[in-house]
Amino acid sequence: MRTAETLSELVSSALAAAQESGSLPPSGDAAVNIEKPQLAEHGDFSTSLPLRLARAMRMSPMKIGEMIAEAIPDNDLLKRVWVAAPGFINLELSDDFLRGQVATILSAGEEFGNVDTGAGQRVQVEFVSVNPTGPLHVGHTRGAVIGSGLANLLEAAGYEVQREYYVNDAGNQMQVFNDTLYARVMQAAGHDEPLPDPAYPGEYLVDLAERLYARHGDALLSRPKAEVIAALAPAALESTLELIRDDLDELGVRYDRWFSEKSLIEDGQFDRAIKFLEARGYLADREGARWFLSTRLGEEKDNVLIRSDKGGPTYFGTDFAYHYDKFLVREFDRVINVWGADHHGHVGRMKAVARALGREPDDLVVIINQIVSFKEGDRAVRFSKRKGVILTVRELLDEVGADACRYIFLSRSPDSQMEFDLDLARRQSADNPVYYVQYAHARIRSIQREAARRDLDYAAGDVSNLRHPMEMELIKTIIRLPDIVHHAATRLEPHHLPHYAYDLAKSLQRFYEECRVVSNDPGDLPVSQARLLLVDAARVALARTLVIMGMTIPERM
RNA sequence: GCGCCCGUAGCUCAGUGGAUAGAGCAUCUGGCUUCGAACCAGAGGGUCGGGGGUUCGAAUCCCUCCGGGCGUGCCA
């Protein structure tokens, strides 16, 4: 299914054949790189293999290229193979091969674009995992989109994927949340209870406290603070998680599991993890605390797992136990965490954790997405959870829409410090690339509706009637999808998908401009039928790409 | 100070060591009596932050400097 892979194998076998026949000297291992040239005159694909081999073979790249090209066996795939200075081999696909792809795509249907890169490897993608202390704010949108897009992508690439949200329902922030909640409930009951310091001062807890007070009444509040909190905390947590779930759901984000931090303590997983470290000599008691000796694993500093003052685990401590669970209990082949830039200082010690657990550091991949700055025109929009939420995910979705949000965040590399101009997002909404891509799909559907209206049956159409250059261009774009999925999944870079989607939409629109699909002339029927097959293949590829991106697929706009 | 990330067209961003560095937006010019003009065709716009180096070949790899962001807790 992957054209580039097929060509790579073809060239590779040609090289081997040329070496076997003695026309080329041995060269050691050389990976055959297949690329898509920028200029059409350089073919559909090319390889710079001769240039790479020139030194080892002590021959001119042009000569090497000619020998390899000559050794490529007759095949149905290629129309033309030629060598171009300074030493490229250019490859052009045959029209028959391209036409034949239409049927291949249509029979693959919703499977089209899937590849076997992952070979069933079990991968976990953990993302967002924001403290459940209030609604998600805009800063969390990027990680949510990247994480879910990546998970979809890996699934398409043949990995067995689990999407997980780590619920920080233990620890200091939860304590602050509960203390604030208590104060707000007392306030709701008319008591003069001051906010704790620190506190979550946002409106969210005021509303939540009022709801809880309305449900429980005054009786509960006469009891000691700890009892009140114990009685209210579970409902408060559940209610907050529900809010987060709903926001993420609207953003097109689904999870397979919500993993409770507290459960690590209650189930004894934390203690087992500590014992594991102790047994391997990575644990030390110092200054009243228990330390992970990460310096033995190449880190600059050791890290505290259990605090000296309250005796409980640190955030790092439970995160260690959490990864103990991921790697040694659930045995994922690979664990991917999507974190914001403010967590990158945590990466090094978690890599050390992976090593301590007996895994390769690369089994743990941390994708850091740089912070997003939001602005409205010239005015910067600041937000901070501790000062109260200014702009929530919900508000962003109301303003811009889930599809546009996903497309915008997904199309940028996580490394880029992006700037999100809300004015621009609103103003340009009609000209946003996201609608261009979706419009292409709606247009295909419209063509198909027109064909149905005319009772034009094309199931038995003959693709040999496809002869226009734009038809060939469209097919070439469609069949790139499996290569794109492979490439993006290998590099864990979902941002290639929106760019491909745009290319595909562009290709479709150019085809549409030049090629009338549903013709009024009865003599054109065979061409119409063939083009309807082609259009349906384009629909399959476009829909598949949108699905992986987690976007909706409009029938009409 | 040290560590990580970034610097590409007016703006927002792509770019796998390869051939003449791309797209969207913005600006300008053209194109609808037939399947959707939320479209298509074209134009202008670049010291790829600066300087060295490696290489047949560097936006891409290495060094260095400049600029920006984020870290550098027994916070999460």
Mean pLDDT throughout A512-525?
93
In angstroms, the CA A536 to CA A531 distance is 8
Which single residue has its CA nearest the C1' atom of nucleotide B71? A345
Nucleotide nearest to A373 (CA to C1'): B69
**Whether the predicted pLDDT of A381 surpasses 70:** no
Nucleotide nearest to A54 (CA to C1'): B56
User: What predicted TM-score, i.e. pTM, was given to this entire model?
Assistant: 0.95
> How many Å apart are A417 CA and B49 C1'?
16
> How many Å apart are A424 CA and B63 C1'?
40
How many C-beta neighbours within 10 Å does residue A40 have?
Answer: 9
> How many Å apart are A502 CA and B24 C1'?
10
- pLDDT digit string, tens, across residues A185-200: 999 999 999 999 889 8
Top-confidence residue, A97 or A419: A97
Mean pLDDT throughout A17-21?
94
Residue A522 lies in a domain: yes
> How many Å apart are A93 CA and B26 C1'?
38
pLDDT at A310: 82
Residues 6+ apart with CB under 8 A from A64: A24, A49, A50, A53, A54, A57, A87
Residue A89 lies in a domain: yes
Q: Residue A480's domain spans which residues?
A: 430-549
- pLDDT digit string, tens, across residues A153-173: 999 999 999 999 999 999 888
Which candidate, A372, A373, A374, A376, places its Cα nearest to that of A423? Answer: A376
Mean pLDDT throughout A213-237?
94
**Whether the predicted pLDDT of A387 surpasses 50:** no
> How many Å apart are A5 CA and B52 C1'?
39
Domain boundary among A70, A93, A116: A93
Residue A39 lies in a domain: yes
**Whether the predicted pLDDT of A31 surpasses 90:** no
pLDDT at A428: 54
> How many Å apart are A413 CA and B66 C1'?
25
**Whether the predicted pLDDT of A385 surpasses 50:** no
Domain boundary among A44, A59, A93: A93
Which single residue has its CA nearest the C1' atom of nucleotide B13? A412
- Indicate the pLDDT class of residue A389, thresholds 50, 70 and 90: very low
- Indicate the pLDDT class of residue A390, thresholds 50, 70 and 90: low
Phi/psi at A80 (5° precision):
-155, 140
Both tokens assigned to A298: 């190449």
Nucleotide nearest to A503 (CA to C1'): B23
Nucleotide nearest to A499 (CA to C1'): B14
> How many Å apart are A161 CA and B36 C1'?
39
Nucleotide nearest to A55 (CA to C1'): B56
Mean pLDDT throughout A34-51?
94
Whether the CA torsion A28, A32, A37, A40 is positive or negative: it is positive
Mean pLDDT throughout A274-285?
96
Residue A354 lies in a domain: no
Q: What is the 3-state secondary structure (H, E, C) of A323-352?
A: HHHHHHHCCCCEEEEEEEHHHHHHHHHHHH
pLDDT at A511: 97
> How many Å apart are A342 CA and B71 C1'?
6
Helices and strands in chain A: count of H runs, count of E runs: 20, 14
When mean pLDDT is compared across A57-61, A172-176, A420-424, A433-437, the lowest value belongs to A420-424
pLDDT at A429: 59
Q: Which domain CATH number covers A35? A: 3.30.1360.70
Nucleotide nearest to A535 (CA to C1'): B35
> How many Å apart are A544 CA and B14 C1'?
21
Both tokens assigned to A326: 């991921």
pLDDT at A499: 96
Residue A487 lies in a domain: yes
Which single residue has its CA nearest the C1' atom of nucleotide B15? A496
Which single residue has its CA nearest the C1' atom of nucleotide B32? A513
Domain boundary among A67, A93, A119: A93
> How many Å apart are A374 CA and B49 C1'?
24
Residue A517 lies in a domain: yes
pLDDT at A423: 72
Whether the CA torsion A370, A374, A375, A381 is positive or negative: it is negative
pLDDT at A391: 80
Whether the CA torsion A256, A260, A261, A266 is positive or negative: it is negative
Sheet holding A88-93, edge to edge: A45-47, A88-93, A78-84
> How many Å apart are A51 CA and B15 C1'?
22
Nucleotide nearest to A33 (CA to C1'): B16
Nucleotides of B under 7 A from a protein CB: 3-7, 11-26, 31, 34-41, 56-57, 68-76
- pLDDT digit string, tens, across residues A109-157: 999 999 999 999 999 999 999 999 999 988 899 999 999 999 999 999 9
Which single residue has its CA nearest the C1' atom of nucleotide B57? A51
Which single residue has its CA nearest the C1' atom of nucleotide B4? A344
DSSP A366: E
Q: What is the DSSP string of A253-291?
A: ---SEEEEHHHHHHTTHHHHHHHHHHHTT-EEEETTEEE
Q: Domains in chain A: how many in total?
A: 2
pLDDT at A137: 87
Residue A543 lies in a domain: yes
Which candidate, A402, A380, A403, A378, places its Cα nearest to that of A390? Answer: A380
Residue A290 lies in a domain: no
Mean pLDDT (chain A) is: 93
> How many Å apart are A237 CA and B39 C1'?
50
Nucleotide nearest to A129 (CA to C1'): B76
- Indicate the pLDDT class of residue A386, thresholds 50, 70 and 90: very low
**Whether the predicted pLDDT of A382 surpasses 70:** no
- Percent with pLDDT over 90 in chain A: 85
Mean pLDDT throughout A26-46?
88
Nucleotide nearest to A347 (CA to C1'): B4
Nucleotide nearest to A130 (CA to C1'): B76
pLDDT at A388: 43
**Whether the predicted pLDDT of A315 surpasses 50:** yes
